[in-house]
A and B are shown apart, each in its own frame.
Chain A
């Protein structure tokens, strides 16, 4: 069975600093991996996805993530945090060719002025 672990339920960075949100996955077959963002009182919005093409995936709002099979990781990064990036971020995994998606517990990102 596949699963996702997000390291750190809360991450705080200063505006302009690097954002790094960690995600490790477990899957017996090649996975598809996703990052979603949730702003208060809204649904989740897809940031980016890995579907077995390039291992470095670029998404919206300047975010990117790198699939590292040897480390079973799919960490989300952004070079310079903006105040508007403050939100909750979810890593998710689904089996290749499948559609059922399992979400991690989420990481809340705080951005300090």
Chain B
């Protein structure tokens, strides 16, 4: 089965450090999403891309978060500087317009201490 691959699976970092999370979407999927999941807020859409162009990043704190797709096989989410409140599981998902519904990666569990 095709899958979305996220790295790293777990990340523990100190406050103020830069964190980069990576996602390899399913080959052929032209839409990529970043979600954040916490107990308090549930699933929040941070940003999404279509054909590598950012379509909506209104859910993302602009001062510290950035999302990019340098090529069709890689999406990145960067936090700089990281803060304890960023601790969450970050999911990447990909999809295409022919088959509505996303395929999620296994997530990156981020802990900022």
A contact set with B: CB distance below 8 Å: 32, 34, 36, 41-46, 49, 51, 90, 94, 99-106
B25 at the interface (CB under 8 A from A): no
Given A43-B4, A44-B91, A105-B42, residue A100 in contact with residue B48 (CB < 8 A)? yes
By a CB distance below 8 angstroms, the chain B residues around A102 are: 45
Bound together, the chains give a CA A42 to CA B37 distance in angstroms of 12
By a CB distance below 8 angstroms, the chain B residues around A45 are: 104
Contact, CB under 8 Å: B100 / A32:
yes
B18 at the interface (CB under 8 A from A): no
The total of Cβ contacts below 8 Å across the A-B interface reads 49
B103 at the interface (CB under 8 A from A): yes
Bound together, the chains give a CA A100 to CA B100 distance in angstroms of 11
Within 8 A of A (CB), among B74-110: 91, 93, 95, 97, 100-107
Given A32-B100, A99-B50, A100-B48, residue A43 in contact with residue B95 (CB < 8 A)? no
